[in-house]
A = this chain, B = another copy of it.
Amino acid sequence: MLPSNRKWFTEVCKEAGYAASWTIIDRLARVTSDYQTIEVFQTEHWGKLMVIDGFVMLTSRDNFLYHEMLSHPTLFSHPAPKRVLIIGGGDCGTLSEVLKHSEPVDVTQVEIDEEVTRLARQHFPELCERNDDPRARLLFDDGLAHIRQAAPESLDVIIVDSTDPIGPAEGLFGPQFVTDCYRALAPGGILVQQSESPLLHRHLIDGIRANMASAGFDDVQTLGFPQPCYPSGWWSATQGCKRSKLSAPGDERFKASGVETRYYNPGVHAGALAMILS
């Protein structure tokens, strides 16, 4: 039983018979867009909490883990990540981490729902501080169509920072999308997708890995990392590399980059790659 002397927000993970709850002080926003219902809560201990269609997207307290691990392993695995595309990522946390790197010259974010970004600017301004970087371009459009129309070999890195594989993000977990990404990547290019929980969603990770292998990616790796606000607190990202191999950078490259992080470092990166899904 949840103590009734507090207000709680609860996310139920039905397929795992599991739920996580946070004590909340107030609901700060509730917006129904063309795509989904977005809510923002003020919690007691986790800062602000954004929820889409009942599923936790992020909290102020722990989003650094997810955003760092969705961006830095991929950017540091590429020798020269100049052209970066983010699909989804409307809270701009991933964009902010990507823009810490000096190599990118064009960082395009294609989020389908402008309301997510509007609410992020208002309630998570710390994630949107780099939105005005001249290298950043924020589009509000369909990521599936965008990648279908992208010129072949025009991108170095594609980051899929999506919601769960139901609702608007469903197509981002299908084989056609991954094939389109492969085509749009230059040789040496890397696709990375958030790929849910290694404990609870192995079938989904296996599906993403199979899609990447079928699309032609030569090296496919799944990284594990903590993400407390998501079901099980253990999350993953799956990377595919086109005509090259994935590996963690040396300490020298990381230090020379000047990229400041709270969780990511080359040792953590190598450890995340060492996770064996058996």
Q: Would you call B278 and A274 a contact (CB within 8 A)?
A: no
Cβ of A43: which chain B residues have Cβ within 8 Å of it? Answer: 17
Q: In the complex, identify which listed stretch (A8-16, A79-87, A95-103) lies at the interface while the others stay far away.
A: A8-16
Q: Would you call A18 and B19 a contact (CB within 8 A)?
A: no
Rounded to whole angstroms, the CA-CA distance of A37 and B150 in the bound complex is 61
Q: Would you call B20 and A18 a contact (CB within 8 A)?
A: yes
What is the count of identical protomers in the complex? 2
Q: What is the size, in residues, of chain A's interface with B at 8 Å between Cβ atoms?
A: 47
Cβ of A45: which chain B residues have Cβ within 8 Å of it? Answer: 15-18
A228 within 8 A of B: yes
Chain B nearest CB from A135 CB (Å) reads 27
Q: Would you call A21 and B19 a contact (CB within 8 A)?
A: yes
A166 within 8 A of B: no
Contact of A267 among B6, B62, B273 (CB under 8 A): B273
A55 within 8 A of B: no
| A interface list, Cβ under 8 A from B | 1-3, 6, 8, 10, 12, 15-23, 43-46, 61-62, 197-199, 224, 226-228, 232-234, 262-263, 265-276, 278
Closest 3 CB pairs of A and B: A271-B271, A233-B233, A267-B274
